[in-house]
Amino acid sequence: MAAIEAERLTRSFRRRGKVVEAVRGIDLHVDEGEIFGFLGPNGAGKTTTVRMLATLLAPDSGRVSVAGCELPRRMGQARRLIGYVGQAGGADESMPVLDNLILQARLHRLDQAEAHGAAERTLHALGLADLTDRLPRTLSGGQRRRVALALGLVHQPAVLFLDEPTLGLDPAARAALWEEIRALQVAGTTIFLTTHYLEEADALCDRVGIIDRGRIVASGAPAELKRSISGDTVTVTAAVGEHGGDGDGDRVKNALEGLSFIREIRETASAVRVYVDNGADAIPAVVRALDTHGVRAVSIGLESASLDDVFLKHTGSSLRREL
């Protein structure tokens, strides 16, 4: 069964007399038990979409069903079945971690004894029992994020929404949180998360939707999306020309034009990306062509296709550049 379904979802905002179309007709289908990643740059419409799916914001148009509940008709039932952890976290700084969890459980209509039990169980399950009496403001960034996760989980939701769960965490704390998220999946929770980390979408998610300017431009399993790019990417960074030269990217592109094995060339802010079937075979010919045209390269690299290449293909700009 689908855990989340959305059709032609739209939402715009009015800001200083101007209309911002944050979400422009999004279709989504997330199966029960999946980790689905919503990947996109700042302002793409990720938070707006998640808030609509999590019953926190009404769409202008379109249809949403979450945890088997059609919105807004079965909003009350949906709210019992979903958890939401916002981009900012959301613990009350003035009360200890345990009390925060109890309050959250009470909001989900557990009675005091049930709420207490659920709060303690959740802290134990996430390895946070040591933090029970701490005030949130005394916690490290990684600990705060895990407490936020606990808050979203205390009522054992079937579907959990996480908006940028690892934003700003160091690699070790991020990896620890990934493990928690995977453990939740094993326990049967469906997880919908947003991220602008390519590595996160790639490593953690069963399927991803890539969103840009309010539209989904590609979706599928990370491996599938990367296969759609197929082959290797040769990156060429050119030296600045003798006359202070702009247009380095153009000079690289001109030099390489006409090489028969090149499938596509795209320019980003930092380098020219050349898509080929076999990078190891292509590099000597690329070097020769640059040489013949007098283009000096600072570096030439070889990569296999990444989700950034998928993003670049569908939007014409690099996600990395936006970060």
Ligand X SMILES: Nc1ncnc2c1ncn2[C@@H]1O[C@H](COP(=O)(O)OP(=O)(O)OP(=O)(O)O)[C@@H](O)[C@H]1O
**Residue 47: CB minimum distance to ligand X, A:** 3
**Residue 48: CB minimum distance to Mg ion, A:** 8
Instruction: Please state, as a whole number, how many other Cβ atoms lie within 10 Å of the Cβ of residue 172.
Output: 9
Does 212 bind ligand X (CB under 6 A)? Our answer is no
* Cβ–Cβ < 8 Å for 165, 141: no
Scanning 39-47, 70-78, 102-110, 169-177 for contacts with Mg ion by CB under 5 A, the matching segment is: 39-47
**Residue 110: CB minimum distance to Mg ion, A:** 29
Does 166 bind Mg ion (CB under 5 A)? Our answer is no
Scanning 46-54, 145-153, 249-257, 270-278 for contacts with ligand X by CB under 6 A, the matching segment is: 46-54
* 76-115: contacts with ligand X (CB under 6 A): 87
Does 100 bind Mg ion (CB under 5 A)? Our answer is no
Reported as type and span, the H/E element at residue 308 is helix 307-315
Contacts 24+ apart (CB under 8 A), 198-203: 198/39, 198/306, 198/307, 198/308, 198/311, 198/319, 198/320, 200/37, 200/166, 200/174, 201/37, 201/39, 201/307, 202/306, 202/307, 203/178
**Residue 45: CB minimum distance to ligand X, A:** 4
Please give the full DSSP string across 235-266, using - where no structure is assigned.
EEEEPPPTTS---HHHHHHHHHTT-TTEEEEE
Does 40 bind ligand X (CB under 6 A)? Our answer is yes
Among 13, 76, 293, 302, binds ligand X (CB under 6 A): 13
Distance, CA of 264 to CA of 170 (rounded, Å): 35
Does 47 bind ligand X (CB under 6 A)? Our answer is yes
**Residue 231: CB minimum distance to Mg ion, A:** 33
Does 15 bind ligand X (CB under 6 A)? Our answer is yes
Site for ligand X, rule CB under 6 A: 13, 15, 20, 22, 40, 42-48, 87, 196
